[in-house]
Amino acid sequence: MSALAEPEPTIDDLIEQIGGMKLAQFLLSTAVTVASLTFGKLAAGELDEARLGIDALAALLPLLDGDARRDLAQTLANLQIAYADAVAAAPGRPTE
């Protein structure tokens, strides 16, 4: 038996789905995406991009509440430590 592939969502479908989200939920989703990208930028040695991601997460942190804020604060701290380690290990790069 073959499974039928679901059709790709249209732009209108995506807009409707996003429009139905609570803003706090959207901000958390955005923060998770930014955190993932930032970890990837650190792993790739793209320190300027990683710094931008860290700054963006720091800006989003006060907008969240409860467990979401706590979890993002921990993720942000982990990223800041990893960033500091990467800067220290980068040859010829001044610390920021």
Boundaries of every domain in the chain: 23-89
Q: How confident is the model at residue 94 (pLDDT cuts 50, 70, 90)?
A: low
Phi, psi of 52 (to 5 degrees): -60, -45
Q: Is 13 exposed, middle or buried (0-12, 13-18, 19+ CB in 10 A)?
A: exposed
Q: Residues near 84 by Cβ (< 8 Å), separated by ≥ 6?
A: none
Strands (E), 1-96: none
Lowest mean pLDDT among 4-18, 29-43, 63-77: 4-18
Note the pTM of the prediction, 2 decimals: 0.76
* φ, ψ (nearest 5 deg) of residue 34: -60, -40
> According to the CATH classification, is domain 23-89 in 1.20.58?
yes
Q: Which is higher by pLDDT, 22 or 61? A: 61
Residue 50, CA atoms < 13 Å, CB-side half-sphere:
21
Q: Are 31 and 67 in contact (CB under 8 A)?
A: no
